[in-house]
Amino acid sequence: MDVSPDQLVGEAKERFDAEDYFAAIHLLEELVDTGKAFADAHHLLGLSYHMLGHSERALESLNRALGLNPRYIEALMHRALVLDALGRSYDAAQDLARARELDVGRKDGISSNEAAKLANMHAALGEAYVESGATDRAIEQYRRALELGPAFHDLRYRLARLLLDAGRSPEARAELEAVVQARPQFYDARAALGLAAYTAGDTKSARDTWTALQSERPEEPKVRAYLSMLERAGRK
């Protein structure tokens, strides 16, 4: 091999960051075949497999990473995510507990940077469930993402939209109220809050919300359509 293990892992990280997981796997498997792979290489290989939905292969690679470095906190946290995807919630909790023990100086044993990464991975898994039609599982993944990143209001808004699509209007309304409270200028969230109120049977709140939005953007077609819907409903 003409390049060093560090160089191969660096190239694989670049491909991973570019979401070219197949290329990352190709580079990392080449390194593994030489017998010179270290814990970081197995860890990144596990993440790449996980992002492609190959949870069993991801688990094998993360196990190898932890075999080489049992105190590898990131590998423990990511293995917990894979175990959870495999339905092994108890084992996932054990890994997270171990990560906390190894790094008691961080909040809940997880740094804000790693929490953000894990939250986004939960969100990505949620979108994969959406594409397969498993909305309830997608909602569960977004809730887990928000446990890790409660201030990620874009993810909370996406959760609320999924709840609306699932007919769970009261839950969607609660999430949207939290988003709007944190980001009052989030126009689409406010419009969706009116829709959540309307579908929950609170027509007055829906009208008040949409009327206020129309005064801000008179030509906004979405809000005009919502108000027209209310007018037609009122004439019946």
Q: What digits encode the pLDDT tens for the residues 211-228?
A: 999 999 888 888 989 999
Tell me what the pLDDT averaged over the chain comes to: 88
Give me the pLDDT at residue 3, please. Answer: 63
- Residue type at position 203: T
Average pLDDT on 140-155 reads 89
CA within 13 Å, CB half, 224? 5
Domain range list for the chain:
5-102, 167-236
- Residue type at position 87: G
Give me the pLDDT at residue 236, please. Answer: 45
Give me the pLDDT at residue 97, please. Answer: 85
pLDDT exceeds 60 at position 131: yes
CA distance 215 to 52: 46
CATH of 5-102, one of 1.10.287.130, 3.90.1170.50, 2.60.40.10, 1.25.40.10: 1.25.40.10
Fold that domain 167-236 belongs to in CATH: 1.25.40
Q: Give percent of the chain with pLDDT exceeding 90.
A: 54
Give me the pLDDT at residue 24, please. Answer: 93
Q: Would the CATH topology of 5-102 be identical to that of 167-236? A: yes
What is the phi-psi region of residue 87: left when phi exceeds 0, alpha when psi lies from -120 to 50, beta otherwise?
left
pLDDT digits (tens, 9 = 90+) for 45-61: 999 999 999 999 999 99
CA distance 184 to 15: 37
Give me the pLDDT at residue 103, please. Answer: 63
Query: Could you tell me the pLDDT band of residue 37, with boundaries at 50, 70 and 90?
Result: confident
CA distance 105 to 199: 45
Q: Are 79 and 50 in contact (CB under 8 A)?
A: no
Give me the pLDDT at residue 215, please. Answer: 93
Give me the pLDDT at residue 110, please. Answer: 66
- Residue type at position 4: S
Give me the pLDDT at residue 151, please. Answer: 83
Chain mean position to CA 53: 14
CA 58, 51, 128, 123 torsion-angle sign? positive
The tokens of 142 are what? 């977004």
Query: Could you tell me the pLDDT band of residue 102, with boundaries at 50, 70 and 90?
Result: confident
Give me the pLDDT at residue 206, please. Answer: 94
pLDDT exceeds 80 at position 4: no
Give me the pLDDT at residue 70, please. Answer: 86
Exposed / middle / buried, residue 59 (Cβ in 10 Å: 0-12, 13-18, 19+): buried
Give per-residue burial for 192-218: e unless 16+ CB within 10 Å, then b: bbbbbbbbbebeebbbebbeebeeeee
88 CB contacts (<8 Å, ≥6 apart)? none
H/E run at residue 202 = none
Cα–Cα nearest to 67, from 43, 35, 101: 43
